[in-house]
Amino acid sequence: MSHARISVDADRPIGSIDRRMYGVLVEHLGRCVYTGIFEPDHPTADADGFRRDVMELVKELGVTIARYPGGNFVSNYRWEDGVGPVAERPSRLELAWHSIETNAFGLDEFMTWCAKADVEPMMAINLGTRGEEDAINILEYTNGVCSTEYADKRRANGHEDAYNVRMWCLGNEMDGPWQVGHKNAEDYAYLAGSTARAMKMIDQDLELVACGSSAWEMPTFGDWERTVLELNYDEVDFISMHRYVDPDTQDRASFLAAGYDMDRFIEGIIATADAVGAKKRSTKKIQISVDEWNVWRLSKWNSIEHGFDPADWPVAPKRIEDVYTAADALALGGMLISLLRHADRVKTACIAQLVNVIAPIMTEKGGRAWRQTTFHPFAIGSRIARGTAYDAVVETASTPTERYGDVDQVDAVVTWDKETGTGSLLALNRSLTDSADLTAALASLGVSRVIEAQILAPADLDAVNTADEPDAVVPVSHPVAIADGVLTTTLPPASWLAVELG
């Protein structure tokens, strides 16, 4: 048994938690869209073809924003193919994921789905095979209010009101050699900058996200961000960051320290962005959009991605349908703690993806839908971790990992919403062997009671949820005491705790 002490100073907030922290990626990859959110023949389908069972889970998950249509998919996508009468829409070879895109679901369907799910849309633009003209056209179709060609096409397609999409991604992972239209940093920076300037001639209040490097293991990392921002500091508002953690490439102790890995990546991007800002003597701060993050057995996918049959282009095939373990849920909970700890600069975060494809929600075609293990920390966080994140100072023992050396055994973040008088304590015990007696001094925030405390402390870290056993891994109530603003509890080994405070 070790001891961990958390102290919080109400006069030291990290920053406000943007509602977009709880976003998702909806990409035309595998079964995310088709037989995921959209399946007109499903018994629960509504008049627009959306699965009601999935919609209910999306609302329970607490999704606030959805990035669309990709992902790698966007870099060869013609958005015009997915609007207008469905019978007249062309099918295309989808190069990123080697499949046929029928275009039965497109921009208008996505906007309708967002409205029904009460989710803000976030659009990505094809800067792989297209550029400024395409960006202007899709912006006009989506947000246009004047009587112009593309705005009138939207109206003719049955959507009178503009969608008023505020957030736009200028391409996707353009430093990746796997990307259709892959570019070097300068070529991308010039294209992104000219596209941004053109878009802001239409609407100067758009929020634009420039591509960061695809991963900090990439040889481009750092120099890519510096080049893009030096050329576009005044044109863009965000730099993107993507982070996937692969449990099959590391020991389990290192895997449970995924939040430590996330911290280093985020802080590296902040340092790079602020160095450019200092060089420019700018008071502006570039924010971070972590618009893809998750646990992903990427090494397994990489071993099969080049085995596609050149004569076989399936429609909505099963792709990257990882089944998540209890350990995966703990690691994801740790990554969420890291994101919240950087709430001053991380203003958007999208778990990738929403349904079936490395997703918290799984479905059967024509059948059931269920929650994966990773559904639970995200859903709890989106519900209770709102308002402001605070600098939680954690005094704790260390725990050894092969990848990072000794790391803090207990990691935590505290949030508080002054308007509702509620908040949260999220804590992860990374040790696989040792419990931790936890004390948290929260009186300065005005905390006086525990509304609810739930914990993921699985006896079997390899346990999974399935359609037949959807509740094999679920959070359970956990004893927590509070007196005079001091919270006390015990964290079992390998556990993630969420306490709702009042």
Three-state DSSP class for residue 498: strand
Reference 232, options 208, 203, 258, 205; nearest CA is 208
d(CA 105, CA 57): 20
Who contacts 145 (Cβ-Cβ below 8 Å, separation ≥6)? 151, 162
**452 is annotated as an active-site residue:** no
Distances (CA, A) of 112 to 38, 145, 163: 11, 18, 10
Catalytic residue among 101, 235, 292, 500: 292
Reference 226, options 180, 293, 279; nearest CA is 279
Count CB neighbours of 6 within 10 A. Answer: 21
Q: Which two tokens stand for residue 266?
A: 């985020």
What is the bridge-based pairing of β-strands 287-295 and 238-245?
parallel
Per the DSSP assignment, residues forming a β-bridge with 496 are: 428, 456
Tokens 């050396």 belong to 405
d(CA 351, CA 371): 15
Contacts of 139-144 with CB under 8 Å at 24 or more apart are 139/168, 139/199, 139/202, 139/203, 139/206, 140/202, 141/79, 141/83, 141/107, 142/107, 142/111, 143/202, 143/203
Q: Which two tokens stand for residue 471?
A: 């509740």
Per the DSSP assignment, residues forming a β-bridge with 209 are: 169, 238
Catalytic residue among 173, 207, 225, 235: 173
d(CA 294, CA 373): 13
Three-state DSSP class for residue 151: helix
**292 is annotated as an active-site residue:** yes
User: Following DSSP, what letter does each residue of 433-468 receive, concatenated?
Assistant: S--EEEEEE-GGGT---EEEEEEE--S-TT-B--SS
Whether the CB-CB separation of 366 and 53 falls below 8 Å is answered with no
Q: Which two tokens stand for residue 239?
A: 């730099």
User: Following DSSP, what letter does each residue of 187-253 receive, concatenated?
Assistant: HHHHHHHHHHHHHHHH-TT-EEEE---S-TTSTTTTHHHHHHHHHHTTT-SEEEEEEEE-GGGS-HH
Phi-psi region of 103 (alpha: psi -120 to 50; beta: other; left: phi over 0): left
User: Following DSSP, what letter does each residue of 295-328 receive, concatenated?
Assistant: E--HHHHHTTTT---TT---BS-----PPPBHHH
Per the DSSP assignment, residues forming a β-bridge with 464 are: 325
Which runs of consecutive H residues, i.e. helices, occur in 16-148?
52-61, 107-117, 132-143
- Please give the positions annotated as active site: 173, 292
